[in-house]
Amino acid sequence: MKMTEEVKRPFTAEETSRMKDELVFRVGEVYALRSQKKEMTSTINASISTAEKACSDVQTKLALGYELEEIEIGCTYDLPEIGMKTIFAAATGKEIRVERMTPAELQRQLFEDPRDED
C-alpha cells in the first residue's frame, strides 16, 4: 500500500518572484473590478432614478387628469363686454378664458387708433 503525507517545502526565489508578480496583477484586477462595480452601480442608480421620475410624471398626470401645454394665444378686448377680454387659442380659435382687462390694457385702449391693426 502506497502512503502519502503533506510536508513543508519552502519556495524557491524564482517561485516567490512569480507569486509576487501574480499578486500585484491580482490586486490590480480586484481594484479594477471594484472600480467597474462603482461605475455600473452609478449608471444603474441613474437609470433607476430616471425610471422613477418617469413613473412619477405619469402618476401625477393621471391623478390630475390633465397636463399643461404651451400654445400660442390671441386676445380680444372688450368682449364679451367692455372692460373684459377673451383669451383664445390662436391655432383653433377655441376660447380659453374670459377675464377682466388690466388697468394697463384699459389705458392702452385710450391711445390706440382703432384703424391700426397689428
pLDDT at 107: 84
State whether residue 107 is helix, strand or coil: helix
Per-residue pLDDT of the chain (118 residues; tens, 9 = 90+): 999 999 999 999 999 999 999 999 999 999 999 999 999 999 999 999 999 999 999 999 999 999 999 999 999 998 899 999 999 999 999 999 999 999 988 887 666 655 555 5
Query: How many whole angstroms separate alpha carbon 63 and alpha carbon 87?
Result: 27
Query: How many whole angstroms separate alpha carbon 83 and alpha carbon 80?
Result: 9
2: exposed, middle or buried (Cβ count in 10 Å: 0-12, 13-18, 19+) = exposed
Backbone angles phi, psi at 117, to 5 degrees: -115, 140
Edge-first strand listing for the sheet containing 84-89: 73-77, 84-89, 95-100
Quote the cell numbers at residue 49.
432614478
Give residue limits of the domains in the chain.
12-66, 73-111
pLDDT at 106: 87
| Partners of residue 99 on adjacent β-strands | 85
Does the pTM exceed 0.75?
no
pLDDT at 50: 97
106: exposed, middle or buried (Cβ count in 10 Å: 0-12, 13-18, 19+) = middle
